[in-house]
Chains A and B, each alone.
Chain A
Amino acid sequence: MPAPASPLLSLEALKVAYGGIQAVKGIDLIVGDGELVCLIGANGAGKTTTLKGITGLQPVQSGTVRYGGEDVTGLPAFQLVRRGLAMVPEGRGVFGGLTIEENLAMGAYVRQDRDAIRADIERVYGLFPRLKERRRQTAGTLSGGEQQMLAMGRALMSRPRMLLLDEPSMGLAPLMVQKVFETVLAVSREGVTILLIEQNAKLALEVSSRGYVMESGEITLAGDAKMLLHDPKVRAAYLGVGA
């Protein structure tokens, strides 16, 4: 597989345990600057634990996380955000008791430029007009899809260089899933590097340039997304198509 010229994020032999189980068994993964890469796999394959290892939410046992040329292994999440690495967590994780606008303001917590923050909030509203209508409502009153919009908008508020997306399509109606993936592509085209974690392998591979397939804590396949999309093993295991 052709490795990207300048990797922004790279995992080297990363091992992470989750609840006493070796959930990530020493994986290597590279995301190049400006790339959209997906990590697909079945439920319980270790995808989310990988993300938690990257963002310091789960302690790393061994291996290295390198971001922007710097070893950031075990660094707490709040310091990664300050380096431009934002994450949209699984289950969205909006602050249900805060208003939509307050959620967005928290997304820009690391920034000081008030006017630009204001402008970016309007930009997110432009992307998701539903959010603007409900700006003064608490986020807990939003539907699942709207919460996903908010979570993505909030992550963009930090003006990240790289975005980690954990299962953005989970539990959403098909129309919403479509909208979410359109947004992912739009964000990617603006130059934000994205690592997308998905169970919906077909959609994920369609928008990505490269993909990694994870199984029982290990990377079993990696390569060009279009190639993976047509790989018989991938088709059989994740796309519901007989080999």
Chain B
Amino acid sequence: MDTFLQQIVNGLTLGSIYAIVALGYTMVYGIVQLINFAHGEVVMIGALTAYSVIVALTGAQVPLPAVAIVLVATMVAIPVCMAVGYTLERTAYRPLRRAPRLAPLITAIGLSIILQHLALIVWSRNPLPYPQIIHTVPYHLTGNPNGATITNVQIAIVVTSVAMMAGLVTLVYRTKLGIAMRAVAQNPSIAGLMGIDNNRVIALTFVIGAGLGAVAGVMVGSYYGIAHYQMGFLLGLKAFSAAVLGGIGNLAGAMLGGLLLGVIEALGAGYVGDLTNLCQLSGWFDALKVRCATDPNVTLFGSNYQDVFAFIVLILVLVFRPSGLLGERVSDRA
């Protein structure tokens, strides 16, 4: 039971990060029907920018509390990522707005490689240890002193994510800009007849998604304690899977998909070892019985197979429910 609870906590933490990144994919897809595969790299740049700021501030022994340093680093990462997101849209995607679907897709993959290598030049090829300046405090969830815990960092990640999701939903459904975003998504030429500058609204969508990505980057770095120029690749693919799981183009879908994917992944990682432990079969095979007498854990797959689950989910969704859990009308878009 404690393992289960712990994996749910870990999964929700991871899932809120996925959800925030998935929102970046789904917003852009919703408005221009483009999979911005470079979005994972925007998250990476957010993580690494914040890393540099934290290292600089702590190195200079700035008399600020740890939380404030992380906040300052995030406030620097957000505009940097927004600028990157804007530049991508303006220079790479906008000229291809009327090109065949494949062109911007290939461009996105190319941009992703370019951004990785720019980051490689700036931050080196080494995995960078994210300074753990916020002291991690675990809180026990049950009476069991060795049981499931939730840390202050996990709480901060979940709370920040929920706040950002609420903010985004308010923006999209309650403000003039948000209504304009939905109008452009539905019919760009009619939106133009309303006096809406489509290019501006589309650019803002990229910028907002990139800003969310920056915060996600800081959260990933702080949570795993490491940042790397290639960290955006797998994270981006998983968040994309989460967006597809929820129904790409659908905001609520991205949030649900992200959280679900995080929990599926955590439970998978937590239980795959036990479930594939061959010693359960030792009653049937003598060779196994001998082996298991000395080592009771002869597992086929360990928790290092964690990454597989996101993609199993992606494949299952694409086969059985291509429109995703909350998505509609994908047939006319895919």
Residues on A lying within 8 angstroms of B by beta carbon are 55, 57, 76-78, 81-82, 86-87, 89, 93, 95-98, 102, 105-107, 109-110, 154, 158
Contact = CB atoms under 8 A, between A and B. Distances in A.
B192 interface: yes
A81 B195 contact: yes
A107 B192 contact: no
Contact of B179 (A76, A82, A98): A98
B191 interface: yes
Contacts of A158: 194-195
B312 to A, nearest CB: 33
Nearest to A105: B179
B176 A109 contact: yes
Given A78-B197, A78-B198, A106 B191 contact: yes
Given A95-B187, A96-B186, A109 B193 contact: no
B193 A95 contact: no
B180 A77 contact: no
27 contacts: A76-B192, A77-B189, A77-B192, A77-B193, A78-B193, A78-B195, A81-B194, A81-B195, A86-B193, A87-B193, A89-B193, A93-B187, A93-B193, A95-B183, A95-B187, A96-B186, A102-B183, A105-B176, A105-B179, A106-B179, A106-B196, A109-B176, A109-B180, A109-B194, A109-B195, A110-B195, A158-B194
B4 to A, nearest CB: 40
B284 to A, nearest CB: 58
A55 B193 CA distance: 8
Nearest to A77: B192
A52 to B, nearest CB: 9
A11 to B, nearest CB: 19
Contacts of B193: 55, 77-78, 81, 86-87, 89, 93
The 8 closest A-B pairs by CB, nearest first: A81-B195, A110-B195, A77-B192, A93-B190, A78-B192, A106-B194, A109-B194, A109-B195
B29 to A, nearest CB: 15
Contacts of A96: 186
Main secondary structure of the interface of A (DSSP, over half): loop
A148 to B, nearest CB: 14
Contacts of B176: 105, 109
Range class of the B interface residue count = 10 to 19
Interface of B: 176, 179-180, 182-183, 186-187, 189-198
Contact of B186 (A55, A77, A86, A98): A98
A138 B81 CA distance: 35
Nearest to B173: A102
B9 to A, nearest CB: 37
Given A98-B179, A106-B180, A106-B191, A78 B196 contact: yes
A189 B183 CA distance: 31
A87 B189 CA distance: 12
A113 to B, nearest CB: 13
Contacts of A89: 190, 193
Contacts of A109: 176, 180, 194-196
Contacts of A98: 179, 182-183, 186
A95 B180 contact: no
